């Protein structure tokens, strides 16, 4: 099967003042459909830059990036926006939900920018509800982000990433703001989406135990891939959860550590 | 994203911060409201003048002796001695002249019994009521017999009658004294109110011009000739009058006129111009508040873009193109200014109605002012909303997502 992601000699240099930062110095990577790749590395190793290029938020200085059979490394900004909308689902460390906006509206957001397939309001609701059910939040669709716990907010964000049926799911430190138990819950969702739906997952993290939930481990160092290997002993989030002591009763309306995207008079 | 969705989104966004939205709109409301009110007051004044001109008759022509622009010792209109009753008779023969009355003006103290009143003595001819379309309230106007014999008869204006005989009294047949000479009152003219220039037309006594010439002033010339043309097309008639008078006064090619010909239209247009200038000035001042309102919108939109940087970053990450973000913020600014403009139009109507009711100022709101105010409001929104929107659209999604 053709790889869903294929990068060749990817180089990215920035100019910060007079200093030239060589964030990527010729990275090569192939990701097959259905893989669950964990990308790790110390800060400054270039994994965030790789994530931005893989997520089509940025373009490489040189080298090629073929996503789902299309060379996206030389596309215009507007073309990249369409690729992001259709092929990529983002999950961020800080959730980035719109405040004062219900979970359902948050999940519907990507479909508003889906220019080609115009969806009717009813269809949008249906698909958003489906995505929320997939992350186990079918009954919380009318809640506002500040009425949800951190784990629940991240699950809304995952539903938002899923709703446009993307080719790859890009998760940038998705557990960085979560406690151990919630982190494993989130990994459980990723593992199930990966296993049951065959969604390709790219997970960026600096925590080894989180990274071991993937099928393959890629380690970055100084802008190049240092280690690229299969995960020998893959962790199973569902089993880990069962082994943990039962959860404390959930406290709704608990404000999370991370404030949602400030949303003054915001939209949707 | 469709324009309809963008609009829905903008409305939802604005409704989430009602206080700020209201305050931002207030600038537009006051700006548009002020422009509409000022234009309404100006147009009201203009149409009042036009009505007054119509009431006075648009076919009036006045010939005055002397000319402001004459060399030597300059005298006001009506002060020269070159205009004669013969000139008046000659003008009567001109085509297009309907009625004509020679006039001699004077001022004197009027005495009736133990009352006295200072007023204008207008020596005139029998056709004056026809020229001015002006009936008598009591009695009747004097006759050509009276003019020929320079009879000591007079017709009072309403204000004079009120002051000498009291309101509602019919003084017909009474005697008043002008410069110690007894004049028989033949009647009282119907009240006519003030002219377009604020002059009380009822504060005058009308006597045969021959009487003023011979019995009051001892002069041969006349001060003015009032003429009504057959049609409101007064320009050719006034040109013919000028030509005839120049010939009669033996004025050569470059000699200046020793008389002035003024049409009612000319006089009215001077005042209309003045009012127009005032209206434009007031509207311009009001326009400044519209500008301030626009700057207010820009200010709030800039604040909003900064506050919502991460939101913009997220929208871009999930597929919003630069132009989607641009449209979102632009539509928000335009919705702000358009709603403000609509409320401003309502306020303009309210203020105009209030001015009409409580200050008794005439107002009239021209329909194109509504369209213009609305257009200006929309224009302001686009103009002042564009810079913040452009700023939002130009954000780098990576930087925006990292923004704290």
Mutation target to probe the B interface, by most B beta carbons within 10 A, among A53, A59, A81, A165 is A81
Q: Which residue has the higher pLDDT, A111 or B48?
A: A111
How many other CB atoms are found less than 10 A from the CB of residue B239? 12
Min mean pLDDT across A134-138, B115-119, B197-201, B286-290 is at: B197-201
> For residue A267, what pLDDT is reported?
44
Say if the Cβ atoms of B398 and A58 lie within 8 Å: yes
> For residue A216, what pLDDT is reported?
95
Residue B136 has pLDDT above 50, yes or no: yes
End-to-end CA distance of chain A: 39
Provide the number of CB pairs (under 8 Å) joining chain A to chain B.
95
Say if the Cβ atoms of B319 and A100 lie within 8 Å: no
d(CA A100, CA A202): 30
Look over chain B and give the mean of its residue pLDDT values, rounded to a whole number. Answer: 85
Q: Which residue has the higher pLDDT, A82 or B50?
A: A82
Residue A9 has pLDDT above 60, yes or no: yes
d(CA B269, CA B254): 28
Say if the Cβ atoms of B310 and A261 lie within 8 Å: yes
Mutation target to probe the B interface, by most B beta carbons within 10 A, among A52, A113, A118, A124 is A113
B355: Cβ–Cβ under 8 A, 6 or more apart, which residues? Answer: B37, B40, B41, B361, B363
Q: Where residue A133 falls among pLDDT bands split at 50, 70, 90? A: very high
For residue A264, give the nearest of B304, B398, B401 by CB distance. B304
Q: Which residues of A touch B14 (CB under 8 A)?
A: 265
> For residue A266, what pLDDT is reported?
42
Q: Is residue A69 part of a domain?
A: no
CATH number at residue A79: 3.40.50.300
For residue B9, give the nearest of A263, A264, A268 by CB distance. A268
Say if the Cβ atoms of A90 and B307 lie within 8 Å: no
Q: Is residue A205 part of a domain?
A: yes
For residue A261, give the nearest of B13, B314, B323 by CB distance. B314
Long-range contacts formed by A108-111: CB under 8 A, 24+ apart? A108/A163, A108/A268, A109/A160, A109/A268, A109/B315, A109/B318, A110/A85, A110/A160, A110/A163, A110/A164, A110/B318, A110/B319, A111/A163, A111/A164
**Among residues B131, B124, B182, which one has the least CA distance to residue B153?**
B182
How large is the average pLDDT for residues A74-79?
A: 90
Burial call A6-16: b when 16+ CB within 10 Å, e when fewer: bbbebebeeee
Q: Is residue A140 part of a domain?
A: yes
d(CA B21, CA B335): 10
The structure tokens listed for B328 are 């979102």
d(CA B151, CA B183): 8
Angle at B196 between CA B192 and CA B364, to 5 degrees: 105
d(CA B239, CA B70): 19
How large is the average pLDDT for residues B349-368?
A: 84
Q: Is residue A15 part of a domain?
A: no
For residue B314, give the nearest of A86, A96, A118 by CB distance. A96
Q: Which residues of A touch B308 (CB under 8 A)?
A: 261-266
Task: Give the chain A residue nearest B396 (alpha carbons).
Answer: A57
Q: Is residue A146 part of a domain?
A: yes
Task: Give the chain B residue nearest A117 (alpha carbons).
Answer: B1
For residue A267, give the nearest of B13, B319, B323 by CB distance. B13
Say if the Cβ atoms of B321 and A118 lie within 8 Å: no
Asked if A118 reaches chain B (Cβ–Cβ under 8 Å), the answer is yes
Say if the Cβ atoms of B324 and A113 lie within 8 Å: yes
d(CA A33, CA B305): 39
How many other CB atoms are found less than 10 A from the CB of residue B78? 19
Nearest-neighbour CA in chain A from B47: distance (Å): 46
d(CA A40, CA A145): 29
> For residue B376, what pLDDT is reported?
83
For residue B318, give the nearest of A77, A85, A100 by CB distance. A85
Q: For residue A159, count CB atoms less than 10 angstroms from its CB and return exposed for 0-12, middle for 13-18, buried for 19 or more.
A: buried
Say if the Cβ atoms of B319 and A86 lie within 8 Å: yes
The backbone torsions φ and ψ at residue A20, rounded to the nearest 5 degrees and listed phi first, read -100, 125
Mutation target to probe the A interface, by most A beta carbons within 10 A, among B10, B23, B318, B404 is B318
> For residue A53, what pLDDT is reported?
93
Q: HSE (CB half, 13 Å, CA atoms) of B266?
A: 11
Q: Is residue A213 part of a domain?
A: yes
**Among residues A81, A62, A77, A70, which one has the least CA distance to residue A8?**
A62
The structure tokens listed for B309 are 């940087």
Min mean pLDDT across A83-92, A121-130, B188-197 is at: B188-197
For residue A98, give the nearest of B311, B324, B401 by CB distance. B311
Q: Where residue A117 falls among pLDDT bands split at 50, 70, 90? A: low
Asked if A75 reaches chain B (Cβ–Cβ under 8 Å), the answer is no
Residue B270 has pLDDT above 90, yes or no: no
Say if the Cβ atoms of B311 and A113 lie within 8 Å: no
Nearest-neighbour CA in chain A from B287: distance (Å): 29
Q: Which residues of A touch B310 (CB under 8 A)?
A: 96, 261-262
How many domains, in total, are found in chain A? 1
Nearest-neighbour CA in chain A from B396: distance (Å): 9
Q: Is residue A259 part of a domain?
A: no
How large is the average pLDDT for residues A57-61?
A: 91
Q: Is residue A258 part of a domain?
A: no
Nearest-neighbour CA in chain A from B327: distance (Å): 12
Task: Give the chain B residue nearest A96 (alpha carbons).
Answer: B314
Min mean pLDDT across A183-192, B133-142, B280-289 is at: B280-289
Min mean pLDDT across A16-20, A28-32, B141-145 is at: A16-20
For residue B319, give the nearest of A82, A263, A266 by CB distance. A82
> For residue A251, what pLDDT is reported?
56
Model-level ipTM above the cut of 0.90: no
d(CA B15, CA A100): 12
> For residue A210, what pLDDT is reported?
92
Say if the Cβ atoms of A113 and B317 lie within 8 Å: no
Residue A228 has pLDDT above 80, yes or no: yes
How large is the average pLDDT for residues B14-35?
A: 86
Asked if A95 reaches chain B (Cβ–Cβ under 8 Å), the answer is no
Say if the Cβ atoms of B12 and A268 lie within 8 Å: yes
Q: Which residues of B touch A261 (CB under 8 A)?
A: 308, 310-311, 314
The structure tokens listed for A37 are 């790749």
- Given a contact cutoff of 8 angstroms between Cβ atoms, the answer to whether B57 and B228 are in contact is yes
CB within 8 Å of chain B, chain A residues 130-189? 160, 164
Residue B236 has pLDDT above 60, yes or no: yes
Q: Which residue has the higher pLDDT, B263 or A203?
A: A203
Highest mean pLDDT among B1-10, B46-55, B72-81, B355-364: B355-364
How large is the average pLDDT for residues A191-219?
A: 92
> For residue A265, what pLDDT is reported?
47
Asked if A117 reaches chain B (Cβ–Cβ under 8 Å), the answer is no
Q: Which residues of A touch B320 (CB under 8 A)?
A: 81, 113
Q: HSE (CB half, 13 Å, CA atoms) of A5?
A: 27
**What range defines the domain where residue A183 resides?**
32-61+74-243
Residue percentage of chain A with pLDDT more than 70: 90
The backbone torsions φ and ψ at residue B348, rounded to the nearest 5 degrees and listed phi first, read -60, -45
Say if the Cβ atoms of A81 and B320 lie within 8 Å: yes
Say if the Cβ atoms of A264 and B398 lie within 8 Å: no
Q: Which residues of A touch B385 (CB under 8 A)?
A: none
Look over chain A and give the mean of its residue pLDDT values, rounded to a whole number. Answer: 87
pLDDT tens readout for residues A86-111: 999 999 988 899 888 889 999 998 98
Burial call B128-164: b when 16+ CB within 10 Å, e when fewer: bbebbebebebbebbeeebbeebbbbbbbbbbbbbbb
Q: Where residue B14 falls among pLDDT bands split at 50, 70, 90? A: confident
Asked if A59 reaches chain B (Cβ–Cβ under 8 Å), the answer is no
């Amino acid at each position: 099967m053709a790889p869903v992601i294929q990068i060749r000699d990817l180089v990215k240099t920035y100019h910060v003042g007079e200093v030239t930062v060589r964030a990527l110095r010729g990275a090569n990577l192939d990701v097959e459909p259905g893989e669950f790749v964990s990308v790790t590395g110390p800060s400054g190793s270039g994994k965030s830059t790789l994530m931005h290029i893989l997520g089509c938020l940025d373009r490489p200085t040189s080298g090629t990036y073929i996503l789902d059979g299309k060379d996206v490394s030389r596309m215009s900004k507007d073309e990249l926006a369409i690729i992001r909308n259709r092929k990529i689902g983002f999950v961020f460390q800080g959730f980035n939900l719109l405040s004062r906006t219900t979970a359902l509206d948050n999940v519907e957001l990507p479909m508003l920018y889906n220019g080609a397939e115009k969806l009717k309001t009813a269809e949008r609701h249906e698909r958003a509800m489906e995505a929320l059910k997939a992350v186990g939040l079918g009954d919380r669709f009318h809640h506002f982000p500040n009425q949800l716990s951190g784990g629940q907010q991240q699950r809304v964000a995952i539903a938002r990433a899923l709703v446009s049926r993307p080719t790859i799911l890009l998760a940038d430190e998705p557990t960085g703001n979560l406690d151990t138990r919630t982190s494993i819950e989130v990994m459980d969702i990723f593992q199930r989406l990966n296993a049951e739906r065959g969604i390709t997952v790219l997970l960026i993290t600096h925590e080894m135990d989180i990274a071991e939930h993937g099928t393959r481990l890629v380690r970055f160092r100084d802008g190049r891939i240092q280690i690229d290997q299969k995960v020998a002993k893959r962790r199973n989030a569902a089993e880990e959860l069962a082994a943990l002591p039962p959860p404390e009763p959930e406290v709704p309306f608990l404000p999370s550590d991370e404030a949602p995207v400030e949303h003054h008079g915001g939209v949707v | 994203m469709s324009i309809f969705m963008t609009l829905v989104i903008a409305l939802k966004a604005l409704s989430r911060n009602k206080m700020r939205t209201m305050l931002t709109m207030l600038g537009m409301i006051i700006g548009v409201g002020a422009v509409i009110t000022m234009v309404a007051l100006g147009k009201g004044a203009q149409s009042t003048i036009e009505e007054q001109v119509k009431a006075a008759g648009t076919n009036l022509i006045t010939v005055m002796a002397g000319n402001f622009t004459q060399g030597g010792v300059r005298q006001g209109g009506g002060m020269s001695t070159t205009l004669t009753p013969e000139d008046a008779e000659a003008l009567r023969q001109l085509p297009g002249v309907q009625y004509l009355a020679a006039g001699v003006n004077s001022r004197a103290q009027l005495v009736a019994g133990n009352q006295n009143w200072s007023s204008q003595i207008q020596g005139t001819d029998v056709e004056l009521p026809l020229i001015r379309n002006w009936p008598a309230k009591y009695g009747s106007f004097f006759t050509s017999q009276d003019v020929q014999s320079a009879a000591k008869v007079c017709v009072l204006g309403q204000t004079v009658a009120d002051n000498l005989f009291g309101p509602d009294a019919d003084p017909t047949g009474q005697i008043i004294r002008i410069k110690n000479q007894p004049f028989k009152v033949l009647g009282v003219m119907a009240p006519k109110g003030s002219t377009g220039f604020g002059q009380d037309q009822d504060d005058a006594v009308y006597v045969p011009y021959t009487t003023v010439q011979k019995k009051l002033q001892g002069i041969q010339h006349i001060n003015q000739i009032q003429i009504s043309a057959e049609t409101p097309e007064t320009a050719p008639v006034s040109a013919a009058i000028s030509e005839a008078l120049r010939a009669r006064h033996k004025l050569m090619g470059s000699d200046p006129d020793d008389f002035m010909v003024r049409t009612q239209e000319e006089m009215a247009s001077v005042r209309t111009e003045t009012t127009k200038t005032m209206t434009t000035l007031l509207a311009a001042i009001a326009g400044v508040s519209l500008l301030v309102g626009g700057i207010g919108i820009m200010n709030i939109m800039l604040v909003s873009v900064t506050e919502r940087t991460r939101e913009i970053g997220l929208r871009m990450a999930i597929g919003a193109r630069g132009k989607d973000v641009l449209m979102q913020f632009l539509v928000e600014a335009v919705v702000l200014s358009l709603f403000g403009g609509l409320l401003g139009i309502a306020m303009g109507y309210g203020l105009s109605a209030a001015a009409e009711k409580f200050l008794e100022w005439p107002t009239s709101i021209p329909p194109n002012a509504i369209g213009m105010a609305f257009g200006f409001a929309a224009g302001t929104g686009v103009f002042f909303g564009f810079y913040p929107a452009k700023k939002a659209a130009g954000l780098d999604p990576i930087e925006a997502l990292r923004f704290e």
